[in-house]
Amino acid sequence: MSQKKPFITLAQARAIAAEIPTPFHLYDEAGIRENARKVNAAFSWNKGFKEYFAVKATPNPYILKILQEEGCGVDCSSYTELLMSEACGFTGSDIMFSSNETPVQDMQKAYELGAYINLDDLTHVDFLKEVAGIPKTVCCRYNPGGVFELGNGIMDNPGDAKYGMSEEQMAEAYTRLMALGAEEFGIHSFLASNTVTDDYYPKLAGILFELAVRLHKRTGAKIKFINLSGGVGIAYRPDQRSNDIAAIGEGVRKKFEEILVPAGMGDVAIFTEMGRFMLAPYGALVTTAIHEKHIYKEYIGVDACAANLMRPAMYGSYHHITVLGKEDALCDHKYDVVGGLCENNDKFAIDRMLPKIDKGDILFIHDAGAHGFAMGYNYNGKLRSAEVLLKPDGTFQKIRRAETPADYFATFDFTPFFKKII
């Protein structure tokens, strides 16, 4: 079993916690950069390649700036994500706008920024024309329907998914968009989430490349890019294998040579829109054990809760936990590691074998860098934590302060009472 290693030591965690109390989310800048470089290298065979980081996974401008320096764009799905991206200096073709059930304001903002707009439905052709205008390049999202299966048992159900349009509708959308002045087109699809196999992107690429050839022949549309979207997973469990991004890039290249090049479409750019793969392993939730409880089971109560990281409560997801300073100790105690919400699913780990945990121990909850802080909420009046960046030189920087009660009450305006108590 491979051991998951935290990217900080106990001494580093203590130094940060002395200034920024736990719980906090911590990100590893060196890890983020190294991984982004591997992604770009894996697809360097494709001239127009660009990774558009899915902002929803880790919406923090400091993180976006790091990825921008590594050559990434951003994938936005809402007005505020567009505003954050604009503030970071992303414009025009640096931005993919992949939304669904899109409000007017969001669509207008995407158009104003010159983003690549990804239409989720045929009816959005008219919607886009009416509320904003038809850009020179437009992308359409594809849903093949049915069941999507990969060799190793991974399956997803596009037929049940609300996203995208059928091939018939894609063809009609392109034809109508061309009549309205669009000149170049993108194809986008997201068929399976958190896949831990090097086959997902190549298989998806095969489907989309063949679709691109058919759509081009049928409508005459010029296909400018194909966006493989997100869905590349990570090894949350220590015994899982990690995706090999170089092998994934090579698998996509083979399909490209097989399908697009012979069709005279070797100039198509490949885009990706990964969130999880870009950030999840390079972020952690750092929390302190504040209580222990011995009833029918053994509990360790920590100062973080599901409001800081909801994946275990929401999906039953596994997040590995390391007790800092006890990395090499025997895991001979069985614990439920729990947060303080009045919800019995607020458990970061259930029946987990860990070293003996004492009050004051600092726990490192792995792989919280994507869909972690981002999915936070304020249930039970819990406040969002700080976010901290660990820099390559070992120093740290607070990149978002923790919420205070004043933030929690900020949207009330019915009595001066709140102003007095905070």
Q: Which residues are catalytic?
A: 342
Instruction: Indicate which single residue of 28, 75, 81, 346 sits in contact with ligand PLP (rule: CB under 6 A).
Output: 75
Distance CA 28, CA 189 (A): 30
User: How big is the site for ligand PLP, counted in residues (CB under 6 A)?
Assistant: 17
Q: Please report how many Cα atoms fall inside a 13 Å half-sphere around the Cα of residue 86, on the Cβ side.
A: 14
Q: Which CB atom, from 276 or from 352, has the smaller least distance to ligand PLP? A: 276
Minimum distance from CB of 401 to ligand PLP (Å)?
25
One character per residue 224-243, x = contact with ligand PLP (rule: CB under 6 A): -----xxxx-----------
Find the part of the chain contacting ligand PLP (CB under 6 A) among 124-132, 275-283, 309-317, 325-333: 275-283
The binder of ligand PLP chosen from 51, 120, 121, 273 (CB under 6 A): 273
Q: Of 57, 117, 313, 363, which lies in the binding site for ligand PLP, with binding defined by CB under 6 A?
A: 57
> What residues have CB less than 8 Å from 256, skipping those under 6 apart?
46, 205, 209, 266, 268, 270
Cβ–Cβ under 8 Å, residues 317 and 397 = no
Q: Minimum Å distance from CB 108 to ligand PLP?
A: 20
E strand spans, 19-115: 24-28, 50-54, 73-76, 95-98
Q: How far is the CB of 143 from ligand PLP (least distance, A)?
A: 12
Element (H, E) at 416: none
Cα(112)–Cα(86) distance, rounded to whole angstroms?
Answer: 11
Identify which of residues 188 and 400 has a Cβ nearer to ligand PLP in the complex. 188
Residue 78 binds to ligand PLP (criterion: CB under 6 A): no
Point out which residues pair with 149 in neighbouring strands. Answer: 155
* Residue 253 is a binding residue for ligand PLP (CB under 6 A): no
Residue 232: partners with Cβ closer than 8 Å, 6 or more residues away: 195, 200, 201, 243, 245, 248, 272, 274, 276, 277
Torsion 184-190-191-196 (CA) sign: positive
Packing angle of the helix pair 104-113, 79-87 (nearest 10 deg):
30
Residue 20 vs 310, nearer CB to ligand PLP: 310
Q: How far is the CB of 341 from ligand PLP (least distance, A)?
A: 25
Is 190 one of the binding residues for ligand PLP (CB under 6 A)? Answer: yes
CB of 371 to ligand PLP, least distance (A): 6
> 252 and 201 in contact (C-beta within 8 Å)?
yes
Question: Least distance (Å) from ligand PLP to the CB of residue 138?
Answer: 16
Check: CB of residue 147 under 8 Å from CB of residue 159: yes
Stretch that binds ligand PLP, among 53-61, 151-159, 389-397, 413-421 (CB under 6 A): 53-61
Binding interface with ligand PLP (CB under 6 A): 54, 56-57, 75, 98, 190, 193, 229-232, 273-277, 370
